[in-house]
Structure 1
């Protein structure tokens, strides 16, 4: 019935709009609060965020960029090879090993951070950005390998077989044929790794001791107290917006591949 279809369509619109407002309201509120000043609106809160004692410094942003870059790169490298192995090869214990990999998701990472801190000390990576990146990569791998395995399984095997007939070995088929085909899965994995590493707070809090190695998240939290012990909420909101902007920009440019990664990769297999 035309009437029922119209009603159903309006129901989708109303529900979607309500959910959009629900999720966007905190971010819009933070943006409004970050621009509000005693005299009106301006950028005073952002100036205080970057210029006050204990505020965000350029090296804090650089540390976050380095950690995010290493985490994304390491996650993509290991997850691609792991997903390719699980999705294309048959070997003894494959299913058991894959289940053990997924079982890491059931372990709250906060419960083993102290043990990881001790382990990083043994190998000389305590209080280092590289050590922090390795920990973040480890916790990203279960989901990432799951995504990449399903992405590889969604690609017809005939493509790989035709490449091998033309003289490509397994690595050549992976780099020349399969990687372009699983690009949505790669984008999804990389985006998740970036969002996690860029906004992570608890792991840097435990694993980093030196102020000059702090990430932006730690720097924003450390400058939360203003004069007389009061909390500078306006500067904190400016820090929240500053942290959110790169994530929003990246997601805006990659949202199409991100959605395709879930629909064509994660939902198959």
Structure 2
């Protein structure tokens, strides 16, 4: 009975989560009383073209994921394995950024990017996205490194590796679940974020997919083109679902081996 109740509850919750996706997919192919892919054709030819918005989003995602992984890995390794003055205070300050709603600091960041010559730039937007991801990413990577026995890197150093060599050759394979978890969160945030690109990007040919999808909802005479917008939602959701299902095993292991130690 307990197992049946467990599966029943899980099935009901799954239906609640799956229903919006199924409804969006059904709405995206609905053409009045018929069905077809005209909505996806309008999506492909909207504005600068779907390829331009996909390319912009892929560039943003690549820069954000790569930058987040590099910085969070080095920072997490330093917090987990090294001692330095102000280590605890600095770590608390990094985590404190999580308490600041990021839309409230986008305007100052917009001004700062203008002074750096990175305004209306995918590189500048990627730097902002990396900054927003770092508190959680550093926390995850510190805990992931702390879950690895120190004997591993000590043995590597005895065999002739330096601190960086032990990190690259021994510790990184051991913290792969944590890396996948951080990378997946950075991917989802940069792929789906709407507010930061809306404020920091002003050129139509540099818009990302979320901004383009929201803009395409307005049709003739102010009417909302819901079917085309739903086609955009489905197009954006499919890579996220595929990547999550592909990396689910590492994602769960990353939380179990890393976050629970915090």
Please indicate, yes or no, whether the TM-score normalized by the shorter chain is above 0.5.
yes
* Helix, strand or coil at the partner of 1:267: helix
Q: Residue 75 of structure 1 contacts residue 144 of structure 1 at CA under 8 Å; is this kept in 2?
A: yes
2:75 corresponds in structure 1 to: 82
2:183 corresponds in structure 1 to: 190
Distance 1:222 1:237 in 2: 13
Q: Report how far residue 61 of structure 1 moved.
A: 0.7
Deviates more, 1:65-74 or 1:36-45: 36-45
Cα deviations by residue, 1:184-214 (Å, 9 ceiling, x for unpaired): 0000000000000001100000000111111
Q: Report how far residue 221 of structure 1 moved.
A: 1.1
1:13 corresponds in structure 2 to: 7
CA-atom RMSD, angstroms? 1.0
TM-score, normalised via structure 2 length:
0.98
Does 1:172 find its partner at 2:173?
A: no
Q: Residue 55 of structure 1 contacts residue 220 of structure 1 at CA under 8 Å; is this kept in 2?
A: no
Q: Aligned pairs, how many?
A: 262
1:116 corresponds in structure 2 to: 109
Out of 16, 23, 31, the residue aligned to residue 22 of structure 1 is 16
1:3 corresponds in structure 2 to: none
Q: Residue 48 of structure 2 contacts residue 205 of structure 2 at CA under 8 Å; is this kept in 1?
A: no
Out of 256, 264, 267, the residue aligned to residue 260 of structure 2 is 267
Q: Residue 34 of structure 1 contacts residue 237 of structure 1 at CA under 8 Å; is this kept in 2?
A: yes
The 4+ residue runs of structure 1 with deviation greater than 6 A are none
Distance 1:268 1:158 in 2: 18
Cα deviations by residue, 1:89-134 (Å, 9 ceiling, x for unpaired): 1111101000000000000000000000000001110000000000
- 1:32-51 aligned at under 5 Å gives the runs 32-51=26-45
Out of 22, 25, 36, the residue aligned to residue 31 of structure 1 is 25
Does 1:133 find its partner at 2:126?
A: yes
TM-score, normalised via structure 1 length:
0.95
1:4 corresponds in structure 2 to: none
Q: Residue 48 of structure 2 contacts residue 204 of structure 2 at CA under 8 Å; is this kept in 1?
A: no
Does 1:210 find its partner at 2:203?
A: yes
- 1:52-71 aligned at under 5 Å gives the runs 52=46, 54=47, 56-71=49-64
Q: Report how far residue 57 of structure 1 moved.
A: 2.6
> Where does structure 1 lack aligned partners over 5 or more consecutive residues?
1-6
